[in-house]
Structure 1
Amino acid sequence: MQKLRIRGGKKLQGEVTINGAKNSTVALIPAAVLADSEVVLEGVPDIQDVYSLLDILNDFNVKTEFNDGTLKIDPTHMVSIPMPTGKIQSLRASYYFMGATLSKFGHGVIGLPGGCFLGPRPIDQHLKAFRMLGADVTEEYGVVTLKSDQGLKGGRIYMDVVSVGATINAILGSVCAKGKTVIENAAREPEIIDVVTLLNKMGAKIKGAGTNVIRIEGVDQLHGTNHTIIPDRIEAGTYITAAVAMGRGVKVNNVLYEHIESYIAKLDEMGAKLEIGEDYVFVHPQDTLTMPTIKTLPYPGFATDLQQPITPLLLLAEGRGSITDTIYPQRVKHIPELNRMGANIKVDGDIIRLEGPCKLSGAPVEASDLRAGACLVIAGLIAEGETTISGVTNILRGYANIVSKLQALGADIEMIED
């Protein structure tokens, strides 16, 4: 079993470059299969979720080539096969194959996805969107069967809750449907804009991405293209947080400030000293931090995926504070692990209550999910003594080369075999 071993207390200094966005990539890959020729994606992160998607594409007879951040996807000879179990269930984003196969073939059989367990994450809005496009949708024993014998037709889709995944699946289902589709109460995340940018390059006619109303005029065919993925705002936030906690001057490159504006605002409120450049954030050392109150919200609010990575930083701050995650209230499995390291955190219903500063000590802990893993890595960098983190595969699902990147900044971190 692989584990991360961190000897904490080392100051970080230097530069780190952020990869292409994981949450874009896992949607862009299924979107690419709608083309009739090769799609080339650049800036693809070298993470486990990408390899899981490539395994699924191989089963669909889609040719792929992945080298040095460039992924070539050739769906020319893609075949429609049922995927009720197995690889399709290995990650959450596999549900984008519902919209992709329904749009491309007029049918699909897809097993319900896996990924990190963050509490209930129903896909009812996805299935509702497909039904509004005229598809026949059944869900039995964890398998979704989609059919559109008469072809998909544009319609009005209103999202009862703001959902990134359902918005993207609705777009994938609508892009080749006959007529016009309007998606209301759509999610506004940068990753949605990225997916729409790719589809429009492929010949789609989509307007309004980044707003809460997206309008789509169906087209008959989509073609291959080249596309560069946006930087990963969650990875950027993670390294910026580590730099605020332990930095002696760290430059985080390939960052779009407007994508993490709400996160930076919270760090400013805490007293972090940040220099914002055109495509970088430089983190200066600072003496004291003030404890904030945080509430996660749909974009452009504070991202739920940055709730866990910022938590160890709050333990260095003075005073009392709280975190309320309105997106995934049950996203709290990192809390017992932090308390094992000496934190003073209580979960009170849907509110995480903190009091600091706390002195963290190294301990054996487990990464229960991707962002909990990022949280524990930062906690290990802060803590005195040695921290070992199990559940490493969860971290590798979303952070490319995390060990070498942190080593280059001066962290004492290594992957070990237990």
Structure 2
Amino acid sequence: MKDRFLVTGGAQLRGVVNVSGAKNSVLKLMAAALLAEGRTTLRNCPEILDVPYMKRVLEGLGCQVEINGDTVVIDTPAETSPNADFDAVRKFRASVCVLGPLTARCGRAVVALPGGDAIGSRPLDMHQSGLEKLGATTHIEHGAVVAQASKLRGANISLDFPSVGATENILTAAVLAEGTTVLDNAAREPEIFDLCEMLKQMGAKITGEGTSTITIEGVEKLHPTEHEVIGDRIVAGTWAYAAAMTQGDITVTGIAPRHLHLPLEKLKVAGAHVETYDRGFRVRMDQRPLAVDYQTLPFPGFPTDLQPMAIGISTVAQGTSVITENIFEARFRFVDELMRLGADATIDGHHVVMRGVTGLSSAPVWSSDIRAGAGLVLVALCADGVTEVHDVFHIDRGYPNFVENLQALGATIERVSTTDQF
């Protein structure tokens, strides 16, 4: 059985939606619980498919994990297995974040090369290189990355690119290394800051989080903690662009607006009225959006995870937009699906030229990843008739209560099951 969405176009989304914890943070925080024996409690966790996926990974390593609504409780044993379950790991990309904690805690890690969204190549070279500079040996064997170290020692590490995943694995290994690690060209995403905050609550000594240079002074032992996950800026950004695309009025709560500074500024340029508050923002659009150019970059640049929303709003905008993808080379594949709906697009390498149209028509479309799936739904809300969006399990991996939230905002959308094969 495969679920699909039936999306009826024409609604102007209006209302209030609350954002829960960040997918790109909670999975890494769950992995960090491996660093300390005892009970770690995470609150404000999103109810998405990837959380049970990570639960399965941790249970395969010897932890006991309980999910109760938005709370995840992880009991980490004195000794954990270094071998991450192949079937569990290959389901989603974030599973690779157990590599650093296992190497630090067990002296060995065997983690299958991860699966996840089909958005392009995401090699582990920088992950491996960082661990090797800390004193580990690494290699790929039988479809898994193997890391081993009798003792990790602090080092000066400079990343070729501010990779979020590499930053996370180096951080979670260095906190238990002997001596001081200085990580240059580190990722600056809010989710990195959130991870550092939790590690510090566990007893780690970290400075410079939120900047491109993070300093970690290794400690002998960490202790479990309780931590509240930051709000999901990508989900919040999705609702912001939904308001602008449908010429609606949406207030989003549970998020720090500074984490979405550039995406909200782009909406202002497109003609939206944007108001920000301490823990939320409001986006109101009274006209057809104006064309705006976008290029994805590491934080604080425009997020690659919001690139489908940038393409989506460009589909219905007045004028021509150029969207440049600098992070993942295969992220434009969902543009072919937009063209089924009548989008006017030309792909040229890592650029796509979108010429805004005034009319879109419904058609069956297929999600290729989490954000592309959400982007297709938003564009379907601007089309006439009923659009079928298939492979919506991708959306379920990143958006809690997606259909229910859309319905509350005034959308006509229905989840149905089908046995058809496409």
Q: For 1:286-343, what per-residue CA distance to the aligned partner results, in whole angstroms no more than 9, with x for missing partners?
A: 1132101111111001011000122221122111110001111321111010000000
User: Matched residues in 2 for 1:236 and 1:158: separation?
Assistant: 32
Question: Do residues 397 (structure 1) and 397 (structure 2) align?
Answer: yes
The corresponding residue for 2:92 is 91
Q: Secondary structure at the match of 1:260?
A: helix
- Give the corresponding residue for 1:127: 128
Deviation at 1:369, TM superposition (A): 0.7
Deviation of 1:284 after TM superposition, in Å, equals 2.0
1:361 is matched with 361
Which string of whole-angstrom CA distances, capped at 9 and with x for unpartnered residues, describes residues 90-132 of structure 1?
Answer: 1101111110110111111111111102111111000000000
Matches within 5 A, 1:251-266: 251-266=251-266
The reply on whether 1:292 has 2:292 as its aligned counterpart is: yes
1:181 is aligned to 181
Could you say what secondary structure the match of 1:41 adopts?
strand
> Can you list the C-alpha shifts for 1:41-87, whole angstroms capped at 9, x where unaligned?
11100111111000111111211111120111110355214236211
Amino acid at match of 2:26: T
Match of 1:13 in 2: 14
Residues 52 and 84 of structure 1: is their aligned pair in 2 closer, same or farther, counting only changes over 3 Å?
closer
Show the 5 A alignment for 1:41-80. 41-80=42-81
What is the CA distance between 1:203 and its match in structure 2?
Answer: 0.3
Contact residue 343 and residue 358 of structure 1 kept, 8 A? no
Please state whether the residue corresponding to 1:120 is helix, strand or coil. coil
In structure 2, what is the equivalent of residue 172 of structure 1?
172
- Work out the CA distance in 2 between the residues paired with 1:405 and 1:288: 23
SS in 1 for 2:286: coil
The 2-side partners of 1:358 and 1:344 are apart by 11
2:274 aligned with 1:274 = yes
Contact 1:247 1:283 in 2 (8 A): no
SS at 1:38 equivalent:
strand
Equivalent residue number for residue 314 of structure 1? 314
Give the distance between the partners of 2:293 and 2:127, measured in 1 at CA. 33
TM-score for the superposition, normalised by structure 1: 0.98
**SS of match in other structure, 1:377:** helix
Q: Distance in 1 between matches of 2:79 and 2:362?
A: 50
* Cα distance in 2 between the residues matched to 1:259 and 1:10: 28
Is the Cα contact below 8 Å between 1:62 and 1:78 reproduced in 2?
Answer: no
Aligned match of 1:250: 250
- Whole-angstrom distance in 2 between the partners of 1:203 and 1:368: 40
Task: Say if 2:271 and 2:285, in contact at 8 Å, map to a contact too.
Answer: no
1:336 equivalent in structure 2: 336
More displaced, 298-307 or 312-321? 312-321
2:95 aligned partner, one-letter code: S
Do the aligned residues in 1 keep the contact of 2:373 with 2:392 (CA within 8 Å)? Answer: yes
Partner of residue 109, structure 2: 108
Task: Give structure 2 stretches of 5+ with no counterpart.
Answer: none
Question: Match of 2:281, as an amino acid?
Answer: V
CA distance in 1 between counterparts of 2:358 and 2:352 reads 15
Give the AA of the match of 1:20: G
Whole-angstrom CA distance in 1 between matches of 2:169 and 2:23: 17
Alpha-carbon shift at residue 399 of structure 1 (Å): 0.5
Q: Which amino acid aligns with 1:116?
A: D
Local SS of the residue matching 1:162: coil
- Check whether the contact 1:84–1:143 (CA below 8 A) recurs between aligned residues: no
CA distance in 1, matches of 2:15, 2:266: 23
Q: CA deviation at 1:136?
A: 1.2
Deviation at 1:359, TM superposition (A): 1.4
Q: 2:80 corresponds to which letter in structure 1?
A: V
Separation of aligned partners in 1, 2:294 and 2:395: 24
- Once the two structures are TM-superposed, the CA of residue 39 in structure 1 deviates from its matched residue by 0.9
SS of aligned partner of 1:97:
helix
What CA distance in whole angstroms lies between the structure 1 residues aligned with 2:68 and 2:211? 34
Deviation at 1:36, TM superposition (A): 1.8
AA partner of residue 160 (structure 2): D
Alpha-carbon offset, residue 409 of structure 1: 0.8
Give the AA of the match of 1:174: A
Q: SS at the partner of 2:35?
A: coil
Q: CA deviation at 1:391?
A: 0.9
| Cα distance in 1, alignment partners of residues 89 and 222 from structure 2 | 24
In structure 2, C-alpha distance between the alignment counterparts of 1:220 and 1:271, rounded to whole Å: 54
What is the one-letter code of the residue matched to 1:190? Answer: P
1:138-149 aligned within 5 A: 138-149=139-150
1:5-61 per-residue CA deviation (whole Å, 9 max, x = no partner) reads 111112212110011111011111101111122111111001111110001111112
Is the Cα–Cα contact under 8 Å of residues 249 and 285 in structure 2 kept in the other structure? yes
- What is the alpha-carbon root mean square deviation over aligned residues? 1.2
- Matched with 1:29 is 30
Contact 1:175–1:219 at 8 Å: present in 2 too? yes
Instruction: Give the secondary-structure state (helix, strand or coil) at the position aligned to 1:33.
Output: helix
